[in-house]
Structure 1
C-alpha cells in the first residue's frame, strides 16, 4: 500500500510563508534548494510528523498544499492514475535520491508521487 510521506505548501510568496510557519508553529525550516524550503520534524519521536516543505508555487499549482505519496513505480502509477481519470501535470522528474511527479485526481485535488531511487547492489 502506498503511504503519505510528505507535504508541499505552494505559495507565490514563499519567503513570507516561511516566516509565517516559523513564527506561528515554530517550524525549523532550512535554506532553500530549487525554490523549496525543507521543513524537518523529528521522525521517529513522540513529536514526529511527516517531512515536507514550502515552495514557490508553479503555474499549474500556484497556491495550496499537496501531499506526496510514495509508490513502488511512478511510471506504473501514472498509467493507472490516468486510466482512472487523473491528469498528469508534471511528468517524472529525477533528483539525487528519488523521482517525483505531480498529478491532479479526477476531483481536482493535486498530489505528488515519489519513488525512491534504487541503490546499486540493493
Structure 2
C-alpha cells in the first residue's frame, strides 16, 4: 500500500503572525500554542478524515517553510530507503510529546526536507 500524506507543517520566524494569517486565510482553528511552546495544532474544519497540521516557530538551524509528513509503518526502514535512493537522513526516529507517535526526517536528492510519521 502507498504511504499517505498525514500531516503538514508551516514554520515561521513569527509563529503567532503565521497562525493568525492561515487562520484568517482559510478559516482554520489553531490550538495548543502555549502547551507546545508556541507550536499550534491546526484543525482545518474539513472533518475527521482530513489531513491535520501544525504552525509553529522555526527550530534553531532550520529555515521557515512548508513541509509534509508521510505516514509509514517503519521509520528506520523508510530512512534507509531514502538513503538508498540518494537522499540523506536529517532527524532520526524521535518521540513526539503527548503520545502523538514518532517522527523522522530526510532530505530528498534536491535537498527538500520531508517528514515521516509513524
| Paired residues of 1:60 and 1:89 also in contact (CA < 8 A) | no
Give TM-score, length-normalised by structure 1: 0.82
Per-residue CA deviation, residues 8-38 of structure 1 (Å, 9 max, x unaligned), is 0011110110111122222111021143210
Task: Give me the whole-angstrom Cα distance separating, in 1, the residues matched to 2:110 and 2:65.
Answer: 15
Number of aligned residue pairs: give it: 112
What RMSD in Å do the two structures reach over aligned CA positions?
1.6
State the match for 2:23 in structure 1: 22
State the match for 1:111 in structure 2: 114
CA apart distance, 1:6: 1.0
CA apart distance, 1:60: 4.4
Matched, 1:50 2:51: yes
Report the 3-state secondary structure (helix = DSSP H, G, I; strand = E; otherwise coil) of the residue aligned with 1:29.
Answer: strand
1:37/1:97 Cα in 2 relative to 1: closer, same or farther (>3 Å)? closer
Q: Which runs of 5+ in 2 are unaligned?
A: none
Task: Give me the whole-angstrom Cα distance separating, in 2, the residues matched to 1:34 and 1:86.
Answer: 30
1:3/1:12 Cα in 2 relative to 1: closer, same or farther (>3 Å)? same
1:79/1:59 Cα in 2 relative to 1: closer, same or farther (>3 Å)? same
Runs of 4+ in structure 1 over 2 Å off: 41-44
Task: Give me the whole-angstrom Cα distance separating, in 1, the residues matched to 2:53 and 2:41.
Answer: 6
CA apart distance, 1:78: 0.6
